[in-house]
């Protein structure tokens, strides 16, 4: 007799082989935690939990009916179907079993973090998201600084419904993905109270140069960087020496951070005297780069990483990885090996190429 798949599980119980149960994002978080990276704790509502919600809520058949025969080019029909499906999902209650499981894991996470009703990010983690060769990342929603069980349950439903945005439906139709085969998991992760946050690529995303790391950073939560609302500070770092090769300090006019009264994420204007100040220290850039190298080595490929520096934590233990996914543009292109036999290649060329590929010289 096979054991029943869990409806909820901790991140550390997940790894790279857990995509079918917890999607790309949550499986990656579990992989990072088990590899020893500093990741805020949390749990995943599994694809089994998603399917139970859809089936026991009695909405699976209605969703199928609304999706049937949609054309990716008919924007009006896509928007209409999306709106009706999302309203249906967001107004459907969880079963007592699933609601109790989510509430209990949230209680235990709050105890673990020593914070009553710990603030969390609720992140979608679709089974076809963050996979090499797929571009589902960012098609579902993320909600920041969610506190309390009732608000958590509401935003988990919103995350589920974001699997059926018009954009996501159109993309699946265009790419030939069966709607039934794309399930969603929701990651519930302790919020890093970010002083600064951003993204990091373990190559140069503008030209594919794998000898460098590129870091984009801005004040507050990383939402302003990911959404493109702010031009971030940018650092190009030598991957071997971890030296900053180029720094560009931008005017950062807005940021997202927590409102102490409402305890919600809000958009604020950055004071004029801070707008042109470098938002991370050189030491933090080096720490981030080192973590980026470790993640790239673990996965064996260039990575796209989201990170935050938590202002509630002491220096040296305040840099956190929020998620990591394979870089899909340059890493899919064939790299010309410098080690190919050629009369114009020197021994130093071979040594440098070996260092960049992580091979041991013997």
Q: What is the tens place of the pLDDT at every residue in 175-228?
A: 888 887 788 999 999 999 999 999 999 999 999 999 999 999 999 999 899 889
339 falls in which pLDDT band (50, 70, 90)? very low
Residue 150 lies in a domain: yes
> What pLDDT was estimated at residue 344?
54
Q: DSSP string covering 166-231, please? A: HHHHHHHHHHT--GGG--EEEEEEEPP-EEEEEEEESS-TTT--TTEEEEEEEEBSTHHHHTTSS-
Residues 309 and 224 in one domain: yes
- Three-state SS letters, 213-250: EEEEEEEECCHHHHCCCCCCEEEEEECCCCCEEEEECC
Which of the listed residues 163, 190, 217 is the one where a domain comes to its end?
190
Mean pLDDT of 315-323: 92
Q: Is 214 exposed, middle or buried (0-12, 13-18, 19+ CB in 10 A)?
A: buried
Say how far apart CA 259 and CA 252 lie, in whole Å. Answer: 19
Residues 133 and 60 in one domain: yes
Residue 2 lies in a domain: no
The domain total for the chain is 3
Residues 268 and 349 in one domain: no
Residues 257 and 283 in one domain: yes
Residue 324 has pLDDT above 60, yes or no: yes
Residues 100 and 204 in one domain: no
Residue 3 lies in a domain: no
Residue 106 has pLDDT above 70, yes or no: yes
Say how far apart CA 63 and CA 88 lie, in whole Å. Answer: 9
> What pLDDT was estimated at residue 100?
98
Which of the listed residues 190, 214, 243 is the one where a domain comes to its end?
190
Residues 117 and 178 in one domain: yes
Residue 334 has pLDDT above 80, yes or no: no
> Tell me: the pLDDT tens digits for 154-181?
999 999 999 999 998 998 888 888 887 7
Residues 137 and 76 in one domain: yes
333 falls in which pLDDT band (50, 70, 90)? low
Which of the listed residues 160, 190, 220 is the one where a domain comes to its end?
190
> What pLDDT was estimated at residue 172?
87
DSSP assignment letter at 14: -
Residue 164 lies in a domain: yes
Residue 105 lies in a domain: yes
> Tell me: the pLDDT tens digits for 108-136?
999 999 999 999 999 998 886 544 445 55
Supply the range of the domain harboring residue 349. 336-362
Q: Domain with 163 in it: what CATH number?
A: 3.30.1490.20
Residue 249 has pLDDT above 70, yes or no: yes
Residue 256 lies in a domain: yes
Q: Domain with 249 in it: what CATH number?
A: 3.30.470.20
Residues 94 and 138 in one domain: yes
Say how far apart CA 250 and CA 248 lie, in whole Å. Answer: 6
Residues 281 and 340 in one domain: no
Q: Is 300 exposed, middle or buried (0-12, 13-18, 19+ CB in 10 A)?
A: exposed
Considering only residues 331 and 39, tell me which one the structure prediction assigns the higher pLDDT.
Answer: 39
Residue 356 has pLDDT above 60, yes or no: no
Residue 337 has pLDDT above 50, yes or no: no
Alpha-carbon Rg for the chain in angstroms: 22
Quickly count helices (H) and strands (E) in the chain. 10, 13
Mean pLDDT of 267-277: 97
- Report yes or no: 218 and 230 within 8 Å, Cβ to Cβ: yes
Pull the structure tokens for residue 131.
Answer: 């996979």
Residues 159 and 23 in one domain: yes
Residues 56 and 184 in one domain: yes
Mean pLDDT of 307-330: 91
Residues 205 and 352 in one domain: no
Residue 130: CB partners within 8 Å, gap ≥ 6? 23, 24, 25, 28, 136, 137, 323, 325, 326
């Amino acid at each position: 007799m096979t054991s029943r798949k869990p409806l909820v599980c901790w991140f550390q119980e997940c790894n790279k082989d857990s995509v079918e149960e917890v999607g790309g994002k949550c499986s990656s978080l579990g992989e990072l935690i088990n590899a020893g990276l500093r990741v805020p704790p949390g749990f995943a509502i599994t694809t089994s939990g998603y399917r139970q919600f859809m089936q026991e809520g009695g909405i699976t058949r209605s969703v199928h009916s609304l999706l049937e025969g949609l054309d990716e080019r008919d924007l009006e029909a896509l928007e209409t179907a999306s709106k009706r499906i999302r309203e249906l999902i967001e107004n459907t209650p969880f079963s007592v079993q699933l609601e109790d499981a989510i509430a209990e894991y949230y209680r235990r996470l709050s105890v673990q973090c020593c914070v009553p009703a710990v603030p969390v990010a609720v992140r979608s983690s679709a089974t076809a998201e963050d996979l090499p060769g797929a571009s589902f990342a960012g098609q579902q929603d993320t909600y920041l600084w969610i506190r309390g069980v009732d608000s958590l349950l509401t935003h988990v439903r919103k995350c589920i419904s974001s699997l059926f945005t018009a954009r996501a439906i159109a993309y699946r139709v265009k790419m030939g993905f069966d709607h039934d085969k794309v399930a969603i998991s929701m990651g519930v992760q302790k919020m890093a109270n970010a002083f600064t946050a951003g993204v990091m690529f373990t190559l140069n995303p503008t030209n594919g140069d794998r000898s460098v790391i590129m870091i984009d950073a801005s004040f507050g939560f990383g939402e302003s960087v990911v959404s493109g609302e702010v031009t971030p500070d940018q650092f190009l770092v030598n991957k071997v020496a971890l030296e900053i090769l180029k720094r560009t300090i931008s005017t950062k006019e807005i940021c997202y951070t927590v409102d102490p009264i409402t305890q919600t994420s809000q958009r604020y204007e950055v004071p004029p005297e801070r707008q042109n100040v470098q938002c991370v220290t050189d030491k933090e850039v080096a720490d981030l780069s080192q973590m980026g190298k470790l993640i790239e080595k673990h996965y064996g490929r260039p990575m796209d990483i989201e990170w935050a520096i938590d202002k509630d934590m002491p220096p040296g233990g305040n840099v956190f990885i929020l998620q990591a996914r394979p870089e899909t543009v340059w890493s899919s292109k064939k790299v010309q090996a410098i080690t190919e036999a050629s009369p114009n290649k020197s021994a130093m060329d071979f040594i440098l190429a070996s260092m960049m590929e992580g091979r041991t010289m013997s």
